[in-house]
Structure 1
Amino acid sequence: MFFYMKHKQPQLETIYREQLLEIGEILRQTREAQHQSLEHLAGQTLIRAKVLSSLETADLEELPEPVYIRGLIRRYGNALGLDGETLASQFFTPATLRRRVSWKESPAAQLRPLHLYVAYILLMVVAISGLSYVLKRTAPTTSQLPALEPLAPNATEPQSPASTPTTMEPENPAASSQPDKPIRVEMTLTAQSWIRIIADGTTTFEGVLPEGEQRLWTADERLVIRAGNAGGVMVSYNDGSQETLGKPGMVTEVAFPPNLDNPVSLAF
């Protein structure tokens, strides 16, 4: 299981685990809030309970390759009443990691019957077509769905999908109520990304923002921005020049202190 990742750089495995931890926590909290067991959901999704548990705990050793993990996330999320498509879109798989060795180059190509090779090719075509379909579904409306709301830190208990409010907000209350705070960070999204904002030690926003969204975040002493797709987030600190938060598909956390010109960045 997950043998393709073992031959890649350790940093890539860290990226996948970081993304899957966020998604797995949503799945686990929602399942427990609905009082459903893994065995019951395994019967609904036709996914083994051990694999469902591995999705929740980001146990990559028990999971298949990234392109198939997205399909498992989508099916599990839909079974819980969440938007499985939105959850799956938050598990980024860089195009360089999706390349497969041709079956003609594989040693197994000389050991298996021809009809198995044909079936393998058809399976790969279906998988790639499905992945292409998922990547195209990045319209702004997906950010208005409640898939990521169970992670809200101020909630006393996980909320059901039907009662969970949308993570999109028409205005930025922190910025409009106190525009003259010493720390001001303007944000523009060039691609959809999951965002968490911590102002002076308090989480003020957490959710998915669509491409084209613009926000202003403020703080008195410290502002921390955490993005699931850092390459799609542009930030400007205290009316300075806009810069990209990080690389596409990478989870990046950046802190903005009030008396430093350059924020501290930490990429995962």
Structure 2
Amino acid sequence: MSELGTRLQQARTEKGLSIDDVQSITKIQKRYLIGIEEGNYDSMPGPFYIRAFVRQYADAVGLSGEQLLNDYKDELPAAQKSTPTQMNAATVSRRGYRSGGRFMEIFPMILVALFVIAIIAIAYVLSQRAPVDSPVEEAEDSEIVLETQPQEDEPAAPIEEEEETVEEEPVEPEPTVTITPTRTQGENAYIDVTGTEALTVRIEFTGESWLSILRNDLGGELLIPSERVYSVADSPFTFEAPEPGVYRIRLGVTANSKVFINDEPLPFQTGMNSENLYINWTQ
């Protein structure tokens, strides 16, 4: 057992907390907490996670996380920068789908415009037809005489073609997006989002921060390629929710992150170093 792990275990014991209690407070898996106490960091995701987990563990048992990281920095692995990830293929696919959807929305209007143009073209062609000349007879003395036909009946007035009136469908106004923070509990913040048919989360990183996104109402399904540390090189990170539901966005260092929902900035609610954003999207 390392000196850092001994100190954390002693502080936990003095507070009368079990490993399960610390797991419930910090949301860190039990096997990682045991690894910190035993000084076994091989099973953890990476150096940044280790430092973040130690800081949260220390805060939970009443110690200063920053002070512990400084005092035992020689025991901890050095932090490493992460590499940017490629865009999720599902996101690209959904974007292409939306582009096709917009074309199908304007396709009826294109048909109406072509129909009106065709009617105008037909009317123009009919109006350009030349009048029929009167018959010409040759007289006996070889003089050309124009014979006027007797008028029997007045020709009927031409029937004007009625131009078909095309009624344009009324354009419904776009729904107004409503983003409402409802409550906070510890490092958990709950936000309701209504009035939108699509939900896009954009996160801009100004430094390193751990990130995970889960479909919370489906048993914690992971919705991004992996849980890892993001940095400025990954900014901006964009996530498009596939359908209405409850999504949990966990950020390890809120000071290094800016969150936008449908391009609307979302201030952090709890004021804590780490925060869980529970987004409840209903239409």
TM-score (norm 1): 0.44
User: Which of 1 and 2 has greater Rg?
Assistant: 2
Higher strand content, 1 or 2: 2
